[in-house]
Structure 1
Amino acid sequence: MINSTPQTVTIAGSDSGGGAGIQADLKTFQARSVFGMSIIVALTAQNTKGVQDAYFIPTEFIDAQFDSLADDFKIGACKTGMLASEAHVKCVVKNLKKVDFGPYILDPVMIAKGGHKLLEDDAIDSIKNELLPLSTLITPNIPEAEVLTGLEIESKEDMVKAANYLKKIGATNVVIKGGHRDSNYSDDYVLLENESFWLRGKRIDTNRTHGTGDTFAACITSELAKGETLRESIITAKKFIQSAVQHGIQVGHGHGPLNHWAELEDDIKIIE
């Protein structure tokens, strides 16, 4: 039957090193048994050591990619990652308002693992004011949440404040990822429309962490496309990322990639 397979699309930048961005998203989609597509916003010359160069795709060609996919596929959920500049954010906003790509996961990618900026400063307000209200869920890590909220986040209480601030300015649902905190655990705070809870995973001592944010958001997108609830999609994504980091792939000389085909870990603790 035509279009019966769950379909997803990632709207983001390409990572030539294969560990993050479009490449990580497509690997995640495949691992979670959905058919993945891509709308490329930027190209990067990148490896495990960092980003050496970037090229932003002309917005007219981004329009063409949106039109092409909307004309043929029945996309059940979508996500954004690296969006590069204010013009590119506005282009994506315009197109998301035109098409029906299902629930939308906003991963506000700002800085690569090696420290290279992936979002120009003038794009931050456009993300907050124009893109955020379109999202079903926003999934910032702590540094990204600090930029979006203007708050300093050092404690779990600060994470709660940041999530509530994002809700106040237009987010429907929020996950503040706690991997950057100095703790024995990786605690994520989940604030949904009608509930909140914490997801706890053990901290893993490894440098195989390239693409964690992309992969987490892509897994949520995959589960939503298959008809899972947002709560269950987030919990599955936490288990997925825990496994992918635990069994990271040994390539490169820097922040190595995850293993997107590892078996799901079942030691994630839900703290209501």
Structure 2
Amino acid sequence: MNTAINSRIPVALTIAGSDSGGGAGIQADLRTFAFHCVHGTSAITCVTAQNTLGVRRVDAMPMEAVVAQIQAVVEDIGVQAAKTGMLLNQEIIFAVAQQVEALQINNLVVDPVMVSRTGAQLIDDDAVKTLCHTLIPKAVIITPNRYEAQILSGLQINSLEDMQAAAEIIHKTLRTKAVLVKGGGMQGDLRGVDIWFDGDKLEVLTTKQVETKNTHGTGCTLSAAIAANLAKGKDLWQAVQQAKEYVTTALTYALDIGEGQGPVGHFFPLWGLGTGDWELGKKQGSREQGAG
């Protein structure tokens, strides 16, 4: 991997789709990188027309354009970490995997965007197979949600024990360094509980639950925060822990915008620099989102 940079600022690359509503995808990733004082670069795989109510249209970028973006960034600027999000189709997935190997991109975080948190499959079965066989084995960590973990493990996930078993199966069969099975789609006390497995350590990661409907972009934000921390030289376990803390706080200050599901508040630390809006934001977050 080309790690040469012109300054001491770490650089991360996101390979994902564009969200016109600004809540997820490339937009969420770049804001997350910026919060972590990491220079964000990007390769856009698809362009979506969406808002807080849903997705209206998706247009794939040409595979050659995706490859050109990755090469342009890595060959000149260099990256210390990268993450993938929505790759959309088999052709793009295969091309990205080739570039990861050819350009020796290390510290790869794969958010295997296959199924939404509501259970709707987002890419076809051939694309899922290509993702599993070509890209996931190159990752240092993958971050599947409940439904993605079910596909990757072959298990039905309804309990903490199911999540733990799925993490172990995914680690063994897909040969990734670590797995983080996310509990955002779980019910009750398991909502927001994540399972980490790296072949040796099986850990349950818990944080306070934040009561809010505005959770758009949480998966993108988590994987981007992990990549940002890796770019800064954190070890993988530390990167995951700090990323989870960041997402939880961003959920506490989620944005109640639009008529549907708003995004998490990526820029919460910037509220009220010299204006008092930071304290106002905390009060609004507690009142409107039910956060403690």
Same fold (TM over 0.5): yes
Which of 103, 107, 113 is the equivalent residue of 1:103? 107
Residue 239 of structure 2 is matched in structure 1 by 233
Greater helix share, 1 or 2? 2
Within 5 Å, give how 1:1-12 maps onto structure 2: 2-12=6-16
- The answer for unaligned runs of 5 or more in structure 2 is 270-292
What is the CA-CA distance between 1:131 and the residue it aligns to? Answer: 1.0
Q: Distance in 2 between matches of 1:110 and 1:45?
A: 19
The change in CA–CA distance for 1:33 and 1:226 in structure 2 (over 3 A counts) is same
What is the CA-CA distance between 1:68 and the residue it aligns to? Answer: 0.7
TM-score by length of 2: 0.86
What is the CA-CA distance between 1:56 and the residue it aligns to? Answer: 0.4
Is 1:258 paired with 2:255? no
Q: Distance in 1 between matches of 2:89 and 2:151?
A: 16
Q: Is the 8 A contact 1:51 1:116 kept in 2?
A: no
What is the CA-CA distance between 1:117 and the residue it aligns to? Answer: 4.7
Partner deviation per Cα, 1:104-158 (whole Å, 9 max, x = no partner): 0000112446776532232011111111110000000101111222210000110
Q: Is the 8 A contact 1:9 1:78 kept in 2?
A: yes
Is 1:43 paired with 2:53? no
Q: Is the 8 A contact 2:168 2:199 kept in 1?
A: no
Q: Is the 8 A contact 1:104 1:135 kept in 2?
A: yes
The structure that has the greater radius of gyration is 2
Is 1:94 paired with 2:98? yes
The change in CA–CA distance for 1:72 and 1:115 in structure 2 (over 3 A counts) is same
Is 1:32 paired with 2:52? no
Q: Secondary structure at the match of 2:45?
A: strand
Q: Distance in 2 between matches of 1:171 and 1:198?
A: 19
Is 1:80 paired with 2:84? yes
The change in CA–CA distance for 1:196 and 1:117 in structure 2 (over 3 A counts) is closer
Q: How many residues align?
A: 263
Give the root-mean-square deviation of aligned CA atoms. Answer: 1.5
- The answer for unaligned runs of 5 or more in structure 1 is 264-272
What is the CA-CA distance between 1:184 and the residue it aligns to? Answer: 2.9
Greater strand share, 1 or 2? 1
Which of 236, 240, 245 is the equivalent residue of 2:251? 245
Residue 209 of structure 2 is matched in structure 1 by 203
Give % identity.
38
Q: Is the 8 A contact 1:110 1:118 kept in 2?
A: yes
Residue 196 of structure 2 is matched in structure 1 by 190
